[in-house]
Structures are given as structure tokens and as C-alpha cells.
Structure 1
Amino acid sequence: MRSKPSVRSPARYYALKALHRIETQAAYADYVLQALRREIALSPRDQDLLTTLVDGVTIWRKTLDWVLARYVRGGLERLDPWVRNALRMGLYQLMFLDRIPRWAAVHETVEVARMAAGEGAAALVNAVLRRISARLERGQPVASFPSIREDPVAHLAIRYSFPEWMVRRWIARYGVEGTRELCRFQNTPRPLSLRVNRLRATREEILADLEARGLRARPSVYHPYVILVEGGLDLTAWPAYQEGKVIAQDEAAAMVPYLLDLRPGLRVLDLCAAPGGKTTAIVEWMGDRGIVVAADAHFGRLHRLREHAWRMGFTTIHVVQADGRRPFLPEWADRILIDAPCLGTGVLARRSDARWHKQESDLASLARIQRELLEAAARMLRPSGYLVYSTCSLEPEENEEQIYAFLRDHPEFRLVSAQGKVPTPFIDAEGFYRVLPHVHHMDGAFGAILEKAGTPVG
């Protein structure tokens, strides 16, 4: 950039800086925003606008580019990345942020483009955004989309900004209208979801704390220790978080440990444990009595798990760096959780750029890893023990197809219904735990309970 930010619009200045880095360095939006928060001090209002712009432009990039291509001669690809992202940022404000006057969206974006790329860039951004703003003022559509009747995949992919391969797969399972609802949900900002550490606090205590801070908070309908919070909350600066009374975790993920049928004194192995949301939930359910081995192949992610365990005061978590695909505790565990790496197509609402980092071709390699984890877990589970396999994916290859293939090769295992372990709305006809975002209005999740035959020794 050619200049320091104008005092008039620091949020837009840093948003454009973040968007440029995300595009040119293939950086993750969350990491870029975290780095900016450490580097700069913004007012709460500007901090909110910065996050809104970066996440919003990232989510709606396909739609924004479709519209802009109708106004930029020669196409967006020929433009400097600073200019391209300034146009996206300005159009996002015009199309999606009603709280910002159109004149302000145009003017402030033009000024930021001038600082980033000079007078020529500012002139181009000004001309394009003013043409679009004028159409909106007259109540005219800014662009037409492909016909949903003639090409429903292209229509939904462009209208809701998703990769076509995702939309195609979802239409095959949920139909056009179901996919439309799924896309809408995945584009809707989600409230912050907190799980209360019931060994240190009650849900009522945390709700009262949040309400005293002027935040809108409500208890989950389905999970007795989850709270949903609207509005801005600086989680790490909150005393309740620092004292280990809460951890951020979606309610769908927080229900997975229910499937393990936990009780104090068990030996539990969490094979893909970091960053620790499910591990800490397991310990809570066991009353911090027993042994929980939390394993993960990634050393850096284990640091977060150790921090959570220390902060929340747990003493029975034993953290180890290990590749869960290679058995290291033969027939040791009473319970094993595999929270398997997956495409994550059920949690796109919480990860603004995840849809652009996924490829359909990734399914094959992920499925191999998932199967290797299941094979290793089968050797580490004691007879009569439970193995729970879970993902945050909506894709059959990563969920039920994986389980049925494993059961065909392992007659010593049987599928156990989730009935009685999680609320009935989340149990499908086969007995799997299944959360569909567009149906249940929660993050997507899948879980299967497998019991190993035999009588435990010792």
C-alpha cells in the first residue's frame, strides 16, 4: 500500500489489506484477522466492520465476481489484486450492508483504493461502484443470474456463492429447495456457542454474567450446558473464560461425547483430539476421574489442547503426539473417539473461506485417512468397548459409507443405535447421529457408535 490509513475509514483500509493477503498468499481469513487484531488497535465499531467486511467478501466472492464481471471491461482477472478486492469490498457493502449509506460505501472504498493503488485505480472503482449504486437507487437488479429451471447448479452456486461441485452433490441428496435452504443457512452468521464447564460453573451463572454485560444470550434447546451468544464478546479477555468456566464449541459438536456412554473411571482414547473441545467434554462427563489419552499428529495444535486442559483445571488428560493411524495402545481403551479429519461441509457457516479451500478430489485421500484411523482404533479398543466415529461433514463417503465398509470387514463389531444417547431429532433411520444444518439450524455433524464383541479381560 502507498499510504497509511485514513482516519476516516481504518476498518476498510485493514479489510482491503486482509483481503489482498487472503487472495495473493492463499492465507486463511481467520489467521489474517487474528494477526491484524494483534497488530492494530481499533474501536469496537471498527473492529466489527473489519470482521464483517473480510468475512462477508470472502463468503460472497463468487457472487460478487459474477456481478462485477458485468461492469468491468476485459474482466476482473486483468485487474491488480488491490483493485479487484476494493471492488469486491465496495460491492459487498452496496448489496449486503443496508446499515451503510450507499454514498458512504462508494466514497470510502474509493479513498481506500486510492491509497492502495493510486488515482487510476480510484477512478475505476468510483466509476463501477457508482453505476451499480445508481441501479440500486432505481430499484433495478444489478445483474441477472442463471435460470434455476434451466441450470439449478449454476444458479445456486452463483446466487449463494458456493463451488459448483458442492451444490451438485447437495442437490442430488436434498433436492433444489433443500440445497437452497442449506446454502442460505451456511451463509448466515452463527452466534458464538459456548459450552459451560459444569465442574466449575452452572449454565445459569454464565447466562447471568453475559446478561450483566449487555449481551444477548440464550440456552441451547438440546444441550444442557451450551449457551448461544449474539453480539461481540472478546472471549479471551472474559474472566469466565480465563477461569476455565467455558470453552467455545458448537452444540452439535458438544453432543458427540454423549455417544460414548461415559462414566467415571473409564480409559478413553481421543485419537484426533486437538484443539480439545471434545476431549474436555469427555473429561467433564467423567467428572475428571479416569484416564483420557488425547492424541494428535500435529504438535502445534496440541498446544491449544494443553492450554484448554490447564485453564479448565483438568488433571486426567494425558496429551501425546501420535499418528492415530498407527496403533500405539493395543486393546487398551474402554472408549475411543475418532473425530476424523474431513471436508467439513457441515460447518461452512463458521469458516468464511473453507468453501474455497475444499476440492471434491480431496474426498478420496480423506476417506483413506478415515479408514486407516478406524483400522487402528479397532486394534486399540478392548472387547465390549465402544468406538465412536464422528465428522462435521455432510458427505456420505465420509460418513455412513465409511462405517458400512468397516463393518463388512470387521464382523467383530456391530452398529449401536444412538437412541437414548442424543435427542431424538438427531437420530436417523439407521441409528446414526446426524445433524443437518438446513433442517436442525445447527452446524452439521455425523456420529456412529460401534461396539466390539467379546468379554474384557482384567
Structure 2
Amino acid sequence: MPLFAILNQFQILKRDLRFAKELVSGVTRWRRRLDYVISELAGRTTESLEPEMRQVLRLGLYELTQMGAPSHALNEHVELAKAWVRPAAAGFANGVLREAARRAEAGKLPDPAAMAGGSSVRDRARRLGVVHSHPTWLVARWLRALGEESTLSLLVCNNARPSYSLRANGAALAAADEEDGAADEQGAATPAARLLRRLRALEGVEATPSPLLPSDFVRVASGLQSVLRSGLVARGLCAVQDESTGLAVQLLDPRPGERLLDACAAPGNKTLLAAGRMLGQGRVVALDVSAGRLQALRNAAEAQGLGAIVTTRAADLRQEAAAARAAADGGAAAASFDRVLLDAPCSGTGVLAKRADLRWRRTADQITQLSTLQDDLLNAASAFVKPGGLLVYSTCSIEVDECSDRVRAFLGRPEGGEFDLEAPPPGLMPEGVVGPDGCVATLPHQHGVDGAFAARLRRRGAAGA
């Protein structure tokens, strides 16, 4: 169970809960920089310290340097070292943290920007990685792909407080407006406009229509916790969802009456947005290997009034494709869907502002392994696209290995031989998100949303929409 869910089970003051969340999130985000300072003060690497001692010192240093805690507050961390590590460890923790407090007061804390090193990509990546608390291998990739200026902007963006958006559920909002007697007042309002009317009635909430997808998404500048407490999300009227996910569905452009397959559907944000676009007409099949996550998707579909057209199936896409190719009625029938969405498992390097832990959990080897999986899933998804139909491949990665490279590789294999990379029709996508190759790509520091990628692949055959 996630730590914050556990904390919520206890009778903890909201103020204390917010403080605990800030500590955990902040220490996770700034871990590498904190470790550099601790190593300089302690005269030894943090890897040589006991894990519990590392955490105590990280917490104390973060509270001192990032949260402005007075030096006497460090007594709590010394006591924590005594209880969590061992009684004799209190002296070491006290020495390191008191030295940090003295240097911080004098403006002389160790500064990783002054680290010695050469001018190679590896050396620059190491310095930037310590200063901005990212792994060296990842910074080096970005330096090569984006250049130094853009990489620096991305690092700063990843460490800033993340922003959040809400996806408005048009069907549920229209039904709620009808119940409230506001249907005539709302008229032909967009889902986002209906949601904004309700948000403006909540104290402390500042929200505006998304500049990218203004009909379906709302950006929340402040007051997200008030929105969650209001019940709007629990009632299915909206969902916390980044606008970048909506761009993949916008590129898919589902139409009423069509058959749509979401091939790696959980947790279902894209599934439900696509289903909402179909206005209750047609069929959406949500496929995923996780039965538990599909049940959550099913519950959300029911809450949002979309249960009639959304069906779920717990299965491996690759096995389903093999069955479908072997027999016309095996699994979900081959080549029977108008539109197929493959939101593939990926490294998630586009969402590091919201998921700071991912930067420490990913490795370069994992990206290679994920690329192989993505190839297999693209091959499998292609089996379900009927002639003239669309396959949209998307990720929440900003690594070219997982994005445009996978599309090019697919088009060069037999499974992609009947497909063409297709630019979106004029007016479908917002300005600034479509590259010269016709693919959709966002970067957090350029577009103000999570980093993401999507490509539109048309299967040759009957004319498609």
C-alpha cells in the first residue's frame, strides 16, 4: 500500500500529513544533491552509511535547507537517529547536522556546481546530475538528444512543484446538470465549461481551460485538494489526468458507432476519454494483463456513465494477437477494429515531475528491454486494425528509443508493411505539438504538460476517416 494511503488511515492532522508528504516527496526528488552535501560534511560517502542513517540525514538536511527549519528542529532528527539506528548513532547525526546548520547560516554549504571535472558529456552530465538531482546516465542522454540549454530547462522543470489538470467527463456532467436543473443554463457547453462552473463554486480553487484541449481539460492552479474533497472525482464528474494523455486520444480521433480497442488500457484514463467521445454509440474493448486494474477501470466507467459501451478483458495482447491470427474467431477477432490505441509500457521519463521516484528506479538497460517489449506489442496490436483503420502508438517517455525509433522499426518489419505513418489532418491537433515527421511530442519545459509521444499509423486498404 502506498505510504500516503497508510498515513491517511491514521488520525493525523491535515497539517502534519501535508508536512510528511512534503518531506517524502522532497527528499525523493533531491536525494542525489542531499547525498553530495552529506558526503562533503561527513567526510565519507553516503553509500558507506547505514540506510537508516542516510535517511535521517537526508530528512534533516532537506528540512533545514529546503523548508527553512530552524537549527533547533534538528534535535528531532538526532533523536530519530538514536531510536531508528542505535543510541550511539545520535552523536554522528548531531555532528553532521550541526555542521550543516553552521555552514548554511554562513552561506557556505558545499555547492555541487563547483565540482571539478572536464568538459565531456559524461563530466557535464555528472555535474548537472548532482546539482539538479538526476542520474548521470539520464542527463547524458538528454544532453545528446536535446542540447545543454534544453536539458537544463528540463531538469529545472522536473524539480519544480508539479501542476495538475482535470479531465471533464461530459456524459456525467450533463446528467448532473440535468439533475440540478442547470441543463438549460449550460446548453451546448463543453464538458470543460460544465466542470469549470462547478469548480468556481469551490473555495480556494483556481482553474482555467486547458490551452491545448480546452473542451475536455481544465488546469488547476490551486486548490486541488479542495476539488478532491468536494466529491467531483468520486462521483465520476472529472478525473485527475494530464493533458498529454488527452493528446493521444485526440490523435486517435474516435467517432460514434466505431469499434475501438485500447490494447494496454489500465488505468483507463485514455479509455474513458475515448469512450466519452463516442457519445454512447459503438464499442470500446479495454484489454490489459492486470485483472485488478481492469476492475478499477470498469468501476470508473460505470461511475462516469460509460459502462454500456466499455467492456474489459484481462489478457496478454501478444497472446490475443497470436490467437486472432490463428483463427478468425480467436480472442478479439483479427482486423476488426476501426481504431486501436497502444499506450505502451515505457520508462516514464516524461512524468518525472510527478513521479520523482522513477528517476532512481530506471536504468539504461531497462530502456533497451522496454524497446523490445514495445516492438512486440506494436506487432501484436497491428493484428486488430482493419483495412483503412488507425493504430495510434503512444508513450509517456521522451526517449527517442521508445518513441520515433519504435515507429520506424515497426514500419520496417513485415507486421508494419501495410501501415503508413500519417500526419494528423489539419485542425485536429493544437499548435506546437506536431513535429516535422507528423508525430505528436510534448516536453514538460516547453509545453507545460507531461512529456509524451504519439504516432498515427494508417493501415492501407479501404478509405478511413
**TM-score bracket for this pair, using the shorter chain length:** 0.7 to 0.9
* Percentage of identical aligned residues: 36
The equivalent residue for 2:129 is 157
Q: Cα distance, 1:218 vs. partner?
A: 2.7
The residue number in structure 2 matching 1:117 is 85
- How much does 1:135 deviate? 1.1
Contact 1:437–1:443, Cα closer than 8 Å, also in 2: yes
Q: Letter of the 1:440 partner, please give it.
A: H
Deviation at 1:45, TM superposition (A): 1.3
Indicate the SS of the match to 1:124. helix
2:311 is matched with 318
1:266-281 to structure 2, matched below 5 A, reads 266-281=258-273
Within the candidate set 190, 193, 209, 1:219 is matched to 209
Cα distance in 2, alignment partners of residues 78 and 404 from structure 1: 45
**Aligned counterpart, 1:354:** 358
2:417 is the alignment partner of 1:445: no
The one-letter code matched in structure 2 to 1:292 is V
Structure 1 stretches of 5 or more lacking a match?
1-29
Q: Is contact 2:204–2:226 with CA below 8 Å preserved after alignment?
A: no
Task: Evaluate the alpha carbon distance shift between residue 355 and residue 441 of structure 1 in structure 2; reply closer, same or farther with a 3 A threshold.
Answer: same
Within 5 Å, give how 1:133-172 maps onto structure 2.
133-145=101-113, 146-147=115-116, 150=119, 151-172=123-144
Which residue identity is paired with 1:165? W
Please tell me whether residue 96 in structure 1 is matched to residue 96 in structure 2. Answer: no
Structure 1 position 175 matched with structure 2 position 147: yes
Do residues 41 (structure 1) and 11 (structure 2) align? Answer: yes
Query: For 1:25-424, what aligned pairs fall within 5 Å after superposition?
Result: 31-38=2-9, 40-97=10-67, 100-145=68-113, 146-147=115-116, 150=119, 151-201=123-173, 202-211=191-200, 212-224=202-214, 225-229=216-220, 230-233=222-225, 237-314=229-306, 315-326=308-319, 327=321, 328-329=331-332, 330-409=334-413, 410-418=416-424, 419-424=426-431
1:435 to 436, 442, 455: 442
- What letter is aligned with 2:405? E
Determine the C-alpha separation between the residues in 2 that align with 1:290 and 1:104.
64
Structure 2 SS opposite 1:370: helix
Give the Cα–Cα distance (whole angstroms) in 2 for the partners of residues 137 and 117 of structure 1: 28
Note closer, same or farther for the CA distance 1:105–1:205 as it changes in structure 2 (3 Å cut).
farther
CA separation of 1:35 and 1:414: change in aligned 2, threshold 3 A: same
**Structure 1 residues 228 and 149 mapped into 2: Cα distance closer, same or farther (>3 Å)?**
farther
RMSD across aligned positions (CA) = 2.0
Greater shift after overlay, 238-247 or 143-152?
Answer: 143-152
Please tell me the residue identity of whatever aligns with 1:128: V
SS of equivalent residue, structure 2 residue 342: strand
Q: How far apart are the structure 2 equivalents of 1:307 and 1:105? A: 45
Whole-angstrom CA distance in 2 between matches of 1:242 and 1:390? 27
Unaligned runs of at least 5 residues, structure 2: 174-190, 322-330
CA displacement 1:289-320 (0-9 Å, x = unmatched): 11000000122221221221122121210000
Match of 2:183?
A: none
Question: CA–CA distance in 1 between the matches of 2:118 and 2:152?
Answer: 13
Distance 1:448 1:258 in 2: 11
| CA–CA separation in structure 2 for the residues paired with 1:128 and 1:400 | 48
Check conservation: 2:167, 2:241, Cα contact below 8 A: yes
Question: Does the 8 Å CA contact 2:441/2:454 hold for their aligned counterparts?
Answer: yes
* Residue 454, structure 1, aligned to residue 425, structure 2: no
- Structure 2: distance between partners of 1:214 and 1:231: 5
Q: 1:120 to 1:232 in 2, by over 3 A?
A: farther
Shift of 1:173: 1.0
CA contact (8 A) 2:298 2:312 kept: yes
What secondary structure, in the 3-state scheme, does the structure 2 residue paired with 1:71 have? helix
The alignment partner of 2:341 has SS state of: strand
Label 1:67 to 1:321 Cα distance change in 2 as closer, same or farther (>3 A): same
Q: Is the 8 A contact 1:325 1:369 kept in 2?
A: no
Higher mean alpha-carbon deviation, 108-117 vs 386-395, is at 108-117
Give, in angstroms, the shift of residue 104 of structure 1: 4.7
Structure 1 pair 240/379, CA: closer, same or farther in 2 (3 Å)?
same
Q: Secondary structure of 2:346's partner?
A: coil
Which amino acid in structure 2 is aligned with residue 378 of structure 1? S
Amino acid at match of 1:48: R
1:148·1:156 contact (CA, 8 Å) conserved in 2? no
What secondary structure sits across from 2:11 in the alignment?
coil
Decide whether the 8 Å contact of 2:390 with 2:459 is kept in 1: yes
Rounded Cα–Cα distance in structure 2 between residues aligned with 1:361 and 1:394: 16
When the two structures are aligned, how many residues end up with a matched partner? 425
Deviations 1:222-257 (A, max 9, x none): 112212222451666432112210111101112210
C-alpha separation in 1, matches of 2:117 and 2:455: 36
**8 Å contact 2:208–2:218 — kept in the other structure?**
yes
Distance 1:312 1:108, change over 3 A: same
- Give the AA of the match of 1:422: M
Query: Which region of structure 1 is more displaced relative to structure 2, 240-249 or 66-75?
Result: 66-75
Q: Retained in 2: the 8 A contact 1:136–1:142? A: no
Structure 1 residue 214: Cα displacement: 1.6
TM-score normalised by structure 1 residue count: 0.88
Kept in 2, the 8 Å contact 1:152–1:176? The answer is: no
Kept in 2, the 8 Å contact 1:273–1:339? The answer is yes
Cα shift at 1:118: 4.4
Give the secondary structure class of the aligned counterpart of 1:423: coil
CA contact (8 A) 2:439 2:455 kept: yes
CA separation in 2, counterparts of 1:357 and 1:317? 34
**For 2:287, what is the secondary structure of its paired residue?**
strand
- CA offset digits 1:339-370 (Å, max 9, x no partner): 00011111111112111111110122211211
1:198 positional shift: 1.4
Distance 2:71 2:208 in 1: 37
- Checking the alignment, whether the CA contact within 8 Å between 2:154 and 2:444 is kept in structure 1 is yes
State TM-score, norm by structure 2: 0.87
CA distance in 1, matches of 2:381, 2:394: 13
AA partner of residue 288 (structure 1): G
